[in-house]
Amino acid sequence: MIGAGLVSLVRNVEAGVNVGQRVFGVLVVVGFITAEWYASTLKPATVKVPAAAPTSPGMPPVHA
């Protein structure tokens, strides 16, 4: 992931014609890498299901 990020950073900076475009390219790549890093730190939420969940009248019981 680091190698791909560096290649993307270099190519985005090279693609800019002026300083503003190059800075924007850096910001886009840094934002994307930050989002990828943050997504990799997320953990699935645990859900606690009650043993006997209430059911609607006429419906069978829910089994977890």
User: Alpha-carbon distance 62 to 53, whole Å?
Assistant: 6
Task: State the number of CA atoms in the 13 A half-sphere of 46 facing the CB.
Answer: 2
DSSP 16: -
Domain ranges in the chain are: 2-41
Residue 2: pLDDT over 60: yes
The set of residues, in sequence order, having a beta carbon less than 8 Å from that of 12 and lying 6+ positions away, is 22, 25, 26, 28, 29
Residue-wise pLDDT tens digits, 13-43: 899 899 999 999 999 999 998 999 899 999 9
